[in-house]
């Protein structure tokens, strides 16, 4: 069973077999409690479980660079292993949007957003940088831009910048339709133009960006002052991501 994005209880059919104490972060798990008692997770920088320790024994986990997993010590049915994701016991890991194969070192299905993900290999896992990156299948985002339109005249090379998430939702801010400046507002959905490479972010960061945008919709838009680019940079910073330098 899930609480948001995190598993908080494991079931065998409809019968609970273990309870997980989770943190605020995605895939952050502190303890696992089952009939035999409570055991504590010890993890590495990627969130992979290195050991599960408790009064009933200790289970250790080792990983190859792309996640092939070996367990030793006390037997355990714990599924929270590589990068904090669920090992389903068939050699695959569940990454929410797709299943990942550490043997093949890639996902077993294509990226749901196709080439818009910024990689010509639609099955690639974290750009083949598995020692430094993770992909909990959050709503990674892209910076997109298109010609500035919707006024009495089209202004080019000025352009409108917006954020696009993997589920096709967007953060797009600008003046009311038909106006060149004035009070700004969020536009429900944006599309078109060109999108840059996918920027990695965790689901809670994406939600922080969206929440910030909703809370700060007001204010004046000026094409040569505080504009759409300024707004999305502030939204990205609100998500605790460094705003990319320059235009994509």
Residue 202 · residue 25 · CB < 8 Å? yes
Please indicate, yes or no, if residue 243 is contained in any of the structural domains: no
Residues 57 and 85 both lie in one domain? yes
Please indicate, yes or no, if residue 134 is contained in any of the structural domains: no
Q: Domain span at residue 58?
A: 2-128
Residues 160 and 219 both lie in one domain? yes
Residues 113 and 59 both lie in one domain? yes
C-alpha 108, offset from chain centre: 19
Residue 77 · residue 89 · CB < 8 Å? no
Residue 106 · residue 123 · CB < 8 Å? yes
User: How many alpha carbons lie under 13 Å from residue 198 in its C-beta half-sphere?
Assistant: 27
Tell which of 102, 128, 154 closes a domain: 128
Tell which of 65, 100, 128 closes a domain: 128
Q: What predicted TM-score, i.e. pTM, was given to this entire model?
A: 0.59
Residues 147 and 173 both lie in one domain? yes
Average pLDDT per block of 10 residues along the chain, 248 residues long? 84 92 87 94 93 94 96 95 93 88 92 64 82 66 76 54 84 83 87 76 80 89 85 82 39
Cα–Cα distance measured from residue 57 to residue 225, given in angstroms and rounded to the nearest whole number: 62
Q: Which of 129, 157, 248 is nearest to 195 (CA)?
A: 248
Domain count, the chain: 2
């Amino acid at each position: 069973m899930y609480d948001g994005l995190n598993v908080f209880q494991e079931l065998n059919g409809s019968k609970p077999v273990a309870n997980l104490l989770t943190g605020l972060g995605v895939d952050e798990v502190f303890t696992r409690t089952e009939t035999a008692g409570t055991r504590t997770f010890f993890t590495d920088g990627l969130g992979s479980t290195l050991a599960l320790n408790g009064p009933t024994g200790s289970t250790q986990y080792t990983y190859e660079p792309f996640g092939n997993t070996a367990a030793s010590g006390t037997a355990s049915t714990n599924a929270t292993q590589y990068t904090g994701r669920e090992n389903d016991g068939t050699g695959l890991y569940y990454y929410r949007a797709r299943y990942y194969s550490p043997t093949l070192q890639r996902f077993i299905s294509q990226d749901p957003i196709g080439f818009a993900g910024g990689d010509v290999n639609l099955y690639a896992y974290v750009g083949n940088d598995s020692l430094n990156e993770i992909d909990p299948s959050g709503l990674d985002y892209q910076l997109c831009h298109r010609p500035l339109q919707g006024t009495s005249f089209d202004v080019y090379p000025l352009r409108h910048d917006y954020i696009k998430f993997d589920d096709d939702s967007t953060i797009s801010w600008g003046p009311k339709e038909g106006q060149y400046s004035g009070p700004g507002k969020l536009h429900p959905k944006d599309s078109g133009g060109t999108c840059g490479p996918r920027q990695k972010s965790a689901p809670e960061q994406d939600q922080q960006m969206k929440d910030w945008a909703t809370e700060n919709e007001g204010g004046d838009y000026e094409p040569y002052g505080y504009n759409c680019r300024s707004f999305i940079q502030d939204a990205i910073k609100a998500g605790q991501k460094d705003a990319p330098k320059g235009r994509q």
